[in-house]
């Protein structure tokens, strides 16, 4: 009697699943996705709810003009069925628009950026402001640098100095982004904040990781050098060894600053403890060996 009852209940459930499934087939979206699946009907009955969700997301994708118009639960992905070894499973599959965006932005993985604004991450050669003759020499240098570097010719970096807001950082960042598209790794660090951060991590793995990363990266931009508070430690134990290593390994190093090279030397000669012109001179000589110096006095683009 008990077995008979269980059989009847099981049969009732099975019939209900079939009837519910038939009702869903009246929906063209549901019917469309089911028709693509070559799997036993019983499996389809059991996954009715998942198939319904998949049919909605599949239909959304079929009529989607771009990633911004995505209506699915996870933007850029669709919850879709998949048949593997005659079994029905469901997973999120990436759409063509999201794949395109990811491919276009893959170059960003080649750039380490420390405490720089969003527009630096998105800097592009095509967007460089070119309507000012005072920018010509710097622009010419970076365009030639890109061409030479891609050919394997490793030239000196650039010490680019000039007034506040004239686009020095953007210019070099655009060059790095262009080279990143050719799978060349680089780092852009806002020097004053980098020093504050690295000093707080002395004695930890974080200190070693950050220092080693910028020490050995193929291309490095030290942004806004001369704006930091000088201490004998940051000058002699961080900047000095960093530049010495990059000089000996022939690793191109770029700098931006509001100070010309003579003013930068004075800046490095004074710490809160004492005046040390010899150590300041040593830093400047390394910068001179690493770079070509170009002045860029131009309109303040941040206004």
pLDDT, mean of each 10-residue run, the chain (303 residues): 44 60 77 80 78 87 88 89 82 84 68 82 85 90 95 95 89 94 92 89 81 94 95 92 96 97 94 85 96 88 61
Q: Rounded to whole angstroms, how far apart are CA atoms 95 and 117? A: 29
Res 16: pLDDT: 67
Res 262: pLDDT: 96
> What residues are paired with 139 via a beta bridge?
none
Res 2: pLDDT: 45
C-alpha count within 13 angstroms, C-beta hemisphere, residue 275: 3
Contact 224, 191 (CB under 8 A): yes
Q: Rounded to whole angstroms, how far apart are CA atoms 125 and 154? A: 20
Contact 225, 263 (CB under 8 A): no
Report H helices in the chain.
2-24, 28-34, 41-46, 48-62, 96-104, 118-121, 136-150, 168-180, 191-200, 205-216, 232-233, 240-248, 261-269, 277-290
Tokens of 223: 């942004």
> Quick one: DSSP state of residue 22?
H
pTM over 0.75: no
Nearest to 41 by CA among 63, 14, 64, 67: 14
Res 24: pLDDT: 73
Q: Within a 10 A sphere around the Cβ of 264, how many other Cβ atoms?
A: 21
Res 106: pLDDT: 61
What is the C-alpha radius of gyration for the chain, rounded to an integer number of angstroms?
30
Question: Residue holding tokens 């050719």?
Answer: 182
């Amino acid at each position: 009697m008990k077995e008979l009852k269980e059989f009847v209940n099981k049969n009732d459930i099975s019939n209900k699943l079939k009837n519910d499934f038939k009702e869903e087939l009246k929906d063209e979206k549901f019917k469309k996705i089911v028709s693509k699946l070559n799997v036993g009907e019983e499996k389809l009955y059991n996954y009715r709810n998942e198939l319904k969700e998949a049919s909605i997301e599949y239909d959304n994708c079929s009529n989607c003009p771009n990633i911004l118009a995505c209506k699915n639960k996870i933007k850029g992905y669709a919850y879709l069925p998949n048949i593997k070894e005659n079994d029905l499973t469901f997973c999120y599959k990436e759409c063509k628009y999201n794949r395109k965006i990811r491919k276009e932005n893959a170059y960003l993985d080649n750039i380490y950026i420390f405490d720089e604004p969003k527009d630096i991450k998105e800097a592009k050669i095509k967007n460089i402001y070119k309507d000012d003759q005072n920018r010509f020499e710097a622009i010419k240098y970076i365009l030639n640098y890109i061409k030479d570097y891609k050919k394997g010719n490793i030239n000196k970096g650039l010490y680019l100095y000039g007034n506040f807001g004239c686009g020095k950082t953007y210019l070099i960042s655009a060059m790095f982004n262009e080279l990143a598209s050719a799978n060349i790794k680089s780092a852009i660090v806002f020097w004053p904040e980098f020093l504050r951060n690295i000093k707080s991590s002395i004695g930890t793995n974080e200190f070693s990781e950050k220092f080693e990363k910028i020490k050995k990266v193929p291309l490095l931009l030290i942004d806004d050098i001369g704006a930091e508070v000088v201490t004998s430690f940051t000058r002699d134990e961080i900047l000095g060894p960093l530049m010495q290593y990059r000089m000996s390994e022939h690793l191109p190093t770029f700098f931006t600053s509001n100070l010309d090279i003579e003013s930068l030397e004075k800046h490095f000669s004074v710490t809160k403890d004492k005046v040390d012109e010899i150590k300041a001179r040593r830093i400047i000589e390394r910068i001179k060996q690493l770079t070509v110096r170009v002045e860029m006095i131009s309109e303040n683009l941040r206004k």
